[in-house]
Amino acid sequence: MVDNARNFDELLELMFKRRHERPGDVFVELLNREKLVIAPGGYSAMGAQIAQQIYLDRSKKGLPTFNAFYGSGWAISAMMWALPDMGFHDLSMMTLIGRHIVSSAYPLPVILDAETGFGTETTLVRTVEAYHGMGVALAHLEDQDSESTRRCGNLGGKKCVEPEKMITKIRSWLAVSKSIDTSMRLMVRTDALTASNGGVENAIERGKRYMDVEYRGLRPLILWADAMVDLKLIERWITEMRKHDSNMILGINYSPNRDWAGYYRKHYKRAPPSYQELFKNGEGFRLIWHTILQARADMEATWNVFADMAENGAQALWKLHRRQRKHPVGDSQGMSNAILWQEFEKNIGGEEASKRYEGSQGYKGSPI
């Protein structure tokens, strides 16, 4: 039991003060200070919490680390329902999961997938309000045609709306953002590079036009062209955007959906670009993220342990425990924040709650 009011207040702050007052401002300040923002991508509160714990631990030790977290629509659809990123998840699902991602990632600012805005240029007002309410720092909006089933940028079958339609959506997003005084910023994404009605030149022109949209001094913060892997294309994209606006901030999805190592080995006989190569001393990409990193890691780990159990029975569990004894996730109850909630319960429940803990068996702060 926390032994005094001050410590209980500290516990409450630790448990419930878990979002920035103006997360978009935090993100912009981070970008200005660090110049390069790096984010792992996930789909759950646990993934966000693991990222947060790694970030805090490495920051405390002065070690290099990422400095934001990305919430992926692909990963939510695939990992929650085993369905492709083809419009199966909606605003209500993104809101439900997103708010837990935001609180679990804190103090990392969260970038969250807003797909095509979950509606028209009129109804996306609900999306802006919902993402603002969650505490999202940066949302991204894409130019796919949702009427022909919007999808992951690395899937075939994509079609983009006319640029004018996307420009209207961007202006609507900015107008609502200004009206509700949200600090949340917007990243615009074009899928034209690999869309049926796109191409490189088309994507370049779209990118320029999208980033020129303004509403009462507010503009999109970052530009992203999805499905970009090739080195020559990356270099051309940077050159064209810098020519148009030398201050434009570019983002790139270093997508785990693509085999970067295999592609670069085959086409360039070299390793894929590092973060610093993509950053190019501030002249290249200043936001880099791996959309579905948690999802790919989780699928592999689950497959391996289930296959081990199928072959070796309970020995798979024994081996899992051996591996995790000194691993940060080895205390599974602790990872679920049971200790915090038990302390909260004992303080709120008083003597009766404390007696229940004294007279019962089970987890009380150390692995069983």
Q: Which of 163, 198, 171, 187 is nearest to 27 (CA)?
A: 187
More confident residue, 272 or 1: 272
CATH code of residue 44: 3.20.20.60
- Give a yes or no: residue 279 inside a domain: yes
- Give a yes or no: residue 246 inside a domain: yes
- Give a yes or no: residue 222 inside a domain: yes
302 burial (CB, 10 Å; 0-12 / 13-18 / 19+) is exposed
Look at strands 285-290 and 37-42 and give their pairing. parallel
- Give a yes or no: residue 3 inside a domain: no
- Give a yes or no: residue 242 inside a domain: yes
Query: Could you tell me the pLDDT band of residue 2, with boundaries at 50, 70 and 90?
Result: very low
Q: Which residues, listed in sequence order, are joined to residue 188 by a DSSP beta bridge?
A: 141, 223
- Cβ neighbours of residue 226 under 8 Å, at least 6 residues apart? 142, 153, 154, 189, 190, 191, 193, 194, 253
Q: Which element (helix H / strand E) includes 310?
A: helix 293-312
What is the total count of domains within the chain?
Answer: 1
Q: What is the pLDDT of residues 124-169, one digit of tens each?
A: 999 999 999 999 999 999 999 877 778 887 778 889 999 999 999 9
Q: What is the pLDDT of residues 222-254, one digit of tens each?
A: 999 999 999 999 999 999 999 999 999 999 999
- Give a yes or no: residue 83 inside a domain: yes
Mean pLDDT of the chain: 95
Look at strands 222-225 and 69-71 and give their pairing. unpaired
Q: How far apart are the first and last CA of the chain?
A: 20
The Cα–Cα gap between 195 and 44 comes to 29
pLDDT at position 3 over 70:
no
15 burial (CB, 10 Å; 0-12 / 13-18 / 19+) is middle
- Give a yes or no: residue 334 inside a domain: no
Domain that holds residue 268: 18-291
Segment among 1-5, 78-82, 88-92 with least mean pLDDT? 1-5
The Cα–Cα gap between 73 and 152 comes to 9
Q: Which of 11, 25, 43 is nearest to 185 (CA)?
A: 25
The Cα–Cα gap between 154 and 70 comes to 17
- Give a yes or no: residue 9 inside a domain: no
pLDDT at position 298 over 60:
yes
